[in-house]
Amino acid sequence: MKGTAMQDHPTLKTIFSRKSVRRYSGTAPTLEQLALLVKAGMAAPTAVNKQPWEFIIVTDPAKLSLLTQRLPHAKMTATAGSAIIVLGDKLRQHKGPDADFWITDCSAAIQNILLAAEAIGLGAVWTAAYPDPERVTAVREVLGVTAEHLIPLAVIPVGHPTGEDQPKDKWDPSRVFLNEYGKKLE
């Protein structure tokens, strides 16, 4: 494969088509679709295969409405029809100086969820809970997360997109270097 032909690969097409969807039709995804997205999330790589995560699938309109009210950057949650909450599990995290890898591990799961949503025709957007203590508390209270070792990292609204949100070409070769910092790729 060369040049443009490589970009036509289905996986790369999905990556380049992914966008942050904030406008939804109001039709909720099926539970089967949401479970598939979480399965994709769980396929993400993790440090020493610790898999330091838990997931909450939210379809209850009342809970979605509460999340919308309490989270300033997740106002689209109610119209999405569902959300996936990614929790970091500090009991399963890597120990020692690498303990914060749970954030990286869960972020890889979030990216897989976003790509899987794009691949099956759904829309999603990554909204952060952690490290903002008010947002973390809001998610804990709305969804009954009482265990201190579980940290709400992100709320991912998931739904059927209206088609208004479009992907952005973020490629910027001026930020890529070859062999050492400062040596341009081109």
The CATH number of residue 26's host domain is 3.40.109.10
Residue 2's pLDDT is 55
CB 153 within 8 A of CB 129: yes
181 lies in some domain: no
| Per-residue CA distances from 17 to 46, 118, 155 (Å) | 25, 7, 21
Q: CA geometry: angle at 66 spanning 62 and 67, to 5°?
A: 120
φ, ψ at 162 (rounded to 5°): -80, -20
Residue 158: strand, helix, or coil: strand
DSSP summary character for residue 60: -
Q: Does 13 map to a domain?
A: no
User: Residue 124 sits in which domain range?
Assistant: 22-161
Residue 52 contacts residue 102 (beta carbons within 8 Å): yes
Structural domains in the chain (count): 1
Q: Does residue 75 lie within any of the structural domains?
A: yes
So what's the pLDDT on residue 97? 81
Instruction: Give me 177's structure tokens.
Output: 């270097």
Structure-token pair, residue 148: 């201190």
Amino acid in the structure at residue 131: P
Whether 112 contacts 43, CB under 8 Å? yes
Q: What is the pLDDT of residue 1?
A: 45
What pLDDT is recorded for position 98?
77
Does a structural domain hold residue 1?
no
85 lies in some domain: yes
Indicate the pTM of the whole model. 0.93
The pLDDT value recorded for residue 96 is 83
The answer to whether position 14 is within a domain reads: no
Residue 162 makes CB contacts below 8 A (sequence gap 6+) with: 23, 24, 25
pLDDT at site 157: 98
Q: Report the C-alpha gap between 85 and 29 in whole angstroms.
A: 15
Is residue 61 in a domain? yes
Contacts of 13 (CB under 8 A, 6+ apart): 7
Show the beta-strand stretches assigned E in the chain: 53-58, 82-89, 123-124, 127-128, 150-159
- Averaged over successive runs of 10 residues, the pLDDT of the chain (186 residues) comes to 74 92 95 99 96 98 98 94 98 85 97 98 98 98 98 99 91 93 88
In residues, how long is the chain?
186
Dihedral of CA atoms 135, 133, 20, 68 in degrees, nearest 10, equals: 10
